Amino acid sequence: MPDRAEGRLELRSLLAAVEDAPPVAVVDVFAAELGKRLAAQEVTFLIADSTGNAVVRLSHDGGGEGRRSQGEDAAETVPLAGTSYEQVMRTQRLQVLPAGEFARVLAPVTDRGDVIGVLEMLLPADPDPDTVDYIAAAAHALGYVVIVNRRFTDLFEWGQRSALFSLAAEIQRRLLPASLTCEAGQFTIAGAVEPAGKIGGDTFDYSLDRDTLHVSLTDAMGHQVDAALLATLLVASLRNSRRAGATLAEQAARANAAILQHGRADQFVTGQLLRIDLATGTGAMVNAGHPGPLRVRDDRVEDIELAADPPFGIVPGISYRVQPVVLLPGDRFVIVTDGVLERNAATADVFSLLAATGDLHPREVVQEITRAVLRAVGGTLRDDATVLCLDWYGGGERDRQADAGANHHRTSPPRSAS
């Protein structure tokens, strides 16, 4: 194995080979080139399934038993529960496992805490520390390869879908941020949407400026395509005004006007808008007829009392109140839609779940809550269940402490589950 300096040159030539390949072949080329450099018996990429409950092994050798196929491409879904893949994705740390005469290496493919998948390799012997570092860096590079090339092909999106999407779900998916998780120096944010059989129009969004974090979570009334189109109108209005530099009050007012002007008279959208000044650590919110946020502080789960203004699309010309929100280092801030709180999901008990998941990454928290809601309703949701979780670390602007795309060092004291 080359030393670290040579390893960086190896990665550069590896990426150059990938750059010459068509977008649909980049993973195959990456795997083949990496395999030659490490004398690997096998190199495969498993992409995270859209449900969060599985990984999907992508290959270029056609279909077969237990695999989906599309042309020459095949996708094998592997449930995560209780597997080494699950451990690697949860911890975001590389694992070396015995595999008969070989060593099986699993490396997280990640970027800023967003789990893209797992790189799996079968090596002739246990890798030395330099080789482990090289594989971790290669897995991180693979994350960028996938992120860049998925813009040009549906292959990765197809691979992630173990079930067909309805038209409404397709629209809804396009409204979500490109990454459902983001680790930054002062915070980590993650969200999850569990769609109902008849889509209820839930969305969430976030954007990070140099000195501001913008967050929204909204719920458009109605079902199927009508709700998805209404959500599209609302999210587009918020993004348009946000990108034009509008204040929080102006964003709310313009979203309200857009629904009134372009929606039907019986349509409306509830939502929460949050803006955090990263320089001062102060937060402000607009509550448009939505269930209030929750906060976990010192292992205690509590409601944040916010006055509720009417939903967007109800009252013309209303001035939405911008209300202060106090954030302290170590706070966990959670917003949900009413699909999480509906009566037949009551046994999910969000308060208890938040208390019991204090040590988990926000990415895992939102998945735990949506899974609990699904269990509580026997797998049949009446409305979308959406969760957004923000961990606030506070302090001034600073860089993440990252290793191969994963932030392994908490910037606030670890919580203990109560």
DSSP per residue, 292-310: PPEEEETTEEEE---PPBP
CATH superfamily entry for domain 167-407: PPM-type phosphatase domain (3.60.40.10)
User: What percent of the chain has a predicted confidence (pLDDT) above 70?
Assistant: 88
The amino acid that residue 259 corresponds to is I
| Selection from 93, 79, 19, 335 nearest residue 193 by Cα | 335
Q: Residue for token digits 């209820």?
A: 200
> Distance between CA atoms of 403 and 74, rounded to whole angstroms?
31
100: tokens are 């008969």
Least confident of 92-96, 203-207, 234-238, 343-347: 343-347
What is the token pair recorded at 239?
């993004």
Question: 235-241: long-range contacts (C-beta < 8 A, 24 or more apart)?
Answer: 235/175, 235/203, 235/205, 238/205, 238/273, 239/205, 239/207
Q: Is the pLDDT of residue 185 over 90?
A: no
What gap in Å lies between CA 31 and CA 37, rounded to an integer? 10
Are 55 and 117 within 8 A, CB to CB?
yes
Q: Is the pLDDT of residue 404 over 60?
A: no
Q: What is the pTM of this model?
A: 0.87
* Distance in angstroms (rounded) separating the CA atoms of residues 405 and 135: 13
pLDDT at 216 over 60: yes
Q: What angle do CA 392, 395, 399 make, to 5 degrees?
A: 90
Quick one: 4-160 is in which CATH superfamily? Answer: GAF domain (3.30.450.40)
Number of residues written out for the chain: 418
Q: How far is CA 396 from CA 43, 92, 112, 335, 357, in A?
A: 42, 26, 19, 24, 27
Q: What are phi and psi of 326, to 5 degrees?
A: -90, 125
The structural domains of the chain, with segments of one domain joined by +, span: 4-160, 167-407
- CA terminus-to-terminus distance, the chain: 47
Q: Is the pLDDT of residue 289 over 90?
A: yes
- pLDDT of 340 strictly over 90: no
Residue type at position 366: V
* Residue 365 banded pLDDT, cuts 50, 70, 90: very high
Helix (H) or strand (E) holding 32: helix 26-38
